[in-house]
Amino acid sequence: MVRTYRRRQFLSYVAALTATSALPAEAVSTQCDGWPDWATFREKFVQADGRVIDFSADARSTSEGQAYAMFFSLVANDRQTFDRLLSWTRANLAQGDLTARLMAWKWGRQTDGNWGVLDSNAAGDADLWLAYVLFQAARRWGDSSLQATAELIQARIQRELVVTVAGIGPVLLPGPQGFALKSGGWQLNPSYLPLPVLRGLATEVPSAVWGALLATTVTMIESVTPKFLVPDWVAVRPELGFTLDPELGYGGTYEAIRVYLWAAMMPTEDPMRSRLLARMKGMATLVEREPVPPARIDAYSGGSEGSGPGGFSAALLPFLDAVGAKSAVRQQRLRLRAMGGVPSVYYEQALGLFALGWMDQRFRFAPDGRLDWGVISTCKT
């Protein structure tokens, strides 16, 4: 399951800082001068064939990593790398056909020594990002095949990952299998639901599902933040609605850190943005009190522990800026500078590209959820 993988991945970050050079990626030879951080990410983590490598997890690849990298390459106007990423994803995570199935979420070295799919279950957030990115890429590059593929992917997400809970409305399961609770209902992951992406899908697709899912996601976050802190996992049951659940734990760590980021990246005109930021203000309080983000919070008690990695400092910058915590923004920037930048680990680098790219106005989400590009660069070929 994704949850187990993330825990192992997070615990391996420190070791990975000294091990990432053990299996270097074969970088694409082009340089995207307009966004140096993307060029660095591509050089370190993207193979020439378009595979994104997570060195902190046995050189595995994930559907999340592929979708994130496609988003970054789109923002950078790096069509060559985008096409390679999409081609590898199609061939290796979708058995050659993204119109026929959702992506397998994990790919790597199998027990027999061969490389291939390690877990065919899908990861809902990666599929959401992929559909969204293909819609935006089709618009930017005038490619009708990308548009058609995006429409088919979002329709399959609706069929396989969206369930309607009585009295609640639609929710997104983290994957097709493995997320039903023994006590009834389902376990959900708030970070799997980037609000700007849901808004964008609601614009691109003439369906009531995406707008309704946007509303239930806001309700979910408001329901599970009694101390104004976001957990990694929550429960939903027809008779109880959205709740914190001891079966899942109350911790908020490497998953939930993204929720603060997604909310802050919503356009200021979106009325849901202020509602969400208000429900997360506990994190700003913690970071203002102790200028290193906690590695873990307890969403039930409000407690915190440990020191989060540099990627957490980067991820929180848009949120801290959005809630007016200027001194905390400065502290996190100073921390990153003292560390020599975001640590060279896949997940932290991905958080950094989202957060710092947004802070540098390289992209924005329009009120309708579609992507607005800031610095538009064309990579040399």
Is the predicted pLDDT of residue 32 greater than 60, yes or no?
Answer: no
What is the chain's mean pLDDT, rounded?
91
Identify the structural domains of the chain with CATH numbers, from first to last: 1-150 (1.50.10.10)
Higher pLDDT, 332 or 184: 332
pTM metric for this prediction = 0.91
Note the pLDDT of residue 206. Answer: 85
One-letter identity of residue 368 = D
Note the pLDDT of residue 354. Answer: 98
Note the pLDDT of residue 16. Answer: 40
CB-based contact 235:242 (threshold 8 Å): yes
Structure confidence by residue, pLDDT tens digits, 61-86: 999 999 999 999 999 999 999 999 99
CA–CA separation, 26 and 23 (whole Å): 9
CA–CA separation, 51 and 288 (whole Å): 39
For 364-380, what is the mean pLDDT? 76
Q: Burial of 183 by CB count in 10 Å (0-12 exposed, 13-18 middle, 19+ buried)?
A: exposed
The partner residues of 116 in beta bridges, in order of sequence, read 108
H or E, element range at 241: strand 241-243
Structure confidence by residue, pLDDT tens digits, 86-136: 999 999 999 999 999 999 999 999 999 999 999 999 999 999 999 999 999
Note the pLDDT of residue 12. Answer: 45
Q: Which of 11, 133, 13, 127 is nearest to 64 (CA)?
A: 127
Is the predicted pLDDT of residue 338 greater than 70, yes or no?
Answer: yes
Q: Given 78, 125, 255, 298, which residue is catalytic?
A: 125
Structure confidence by residue, pLDDT tens digits, 142-199: 999 999 999 999 999 999 999 999 999 999 999 999 999 988 899 999 999 999 999 9
Structure confidence by residue, pLDDT tens digits, 188-208: 999 999 999 999 999 999 889
pLDDT band at 140 (very low <50, low <70, confident <90, very high): very high
One-letter identity of residue 100 = A
Q: What percent of the chain has pLDDT above 70?
A: 89
- Reduced to 3 states (helix: H, G, I; strand: E, B; else coil), residue 62 is strand
Q: Given 37, 54, 64, 78, which residue is catalytic?
A: 64
pLDDT band at 30 (very low <50, low <70, confident <90, very high): very low
CA–CA separation, 369 and 141 (whole Å): 18
Is the predicted pLDDT of residue 8 greater than 80, yes or no?
Answer: no
CA–CA separation, 349 and 20 (whole Å): 13
* φ and ψ of 181, to 5 deg: -85, 145
CB-based contact 312:293 (threshold 8 Å): yes
Active site residue 125: yes
Note the pLDDT of residue 276. Answer: 97
Q: In what order do the strands lie in the sheet with 61-62?
A: 61-62, 106-109, 115-119
pLDDT band at 315 (very low <50, low <70, confident <90, very high): very high
H helix runs in the chain, sequence order: 2-11, 13-17, 36-45, 63-75, 79-93, 124-141, 144-160, 195-204, 208-223, 257-264, 271-278, 281-289, 310-322, 326-338, 346-359
CA–CA separation, 190 and 71 (whole Å): 20
Q: Which of 279, 286, 273 is nearest to 318 (CA)?
A: 273
One-letter identity of residue 184 = G
pLDDT band at 381 (very low <50, low <70, confident <90, very high): very low
Active site residue 269: no
CB atoms within 10 A of CB 58: 14
Note the pLDDT of residue 33. Answer: 58
CA 224 to mean position of chain CA atoms: 20
Using alpha carbons, list the distances in angstroms from residue 189 to 122, 161, 172, 177: 14, 13, 9, 14
What is the sign of the dihedral through the CA atoms of 312, 313, 314 and 318?
positive
Q: Which of 201, 200, 195 is nearest to 271 (CA)?
A: 195
Q: Alpha-carbon dihedral of residues 232, 236, 240, 243, nearest 10 degrees?
A: 0
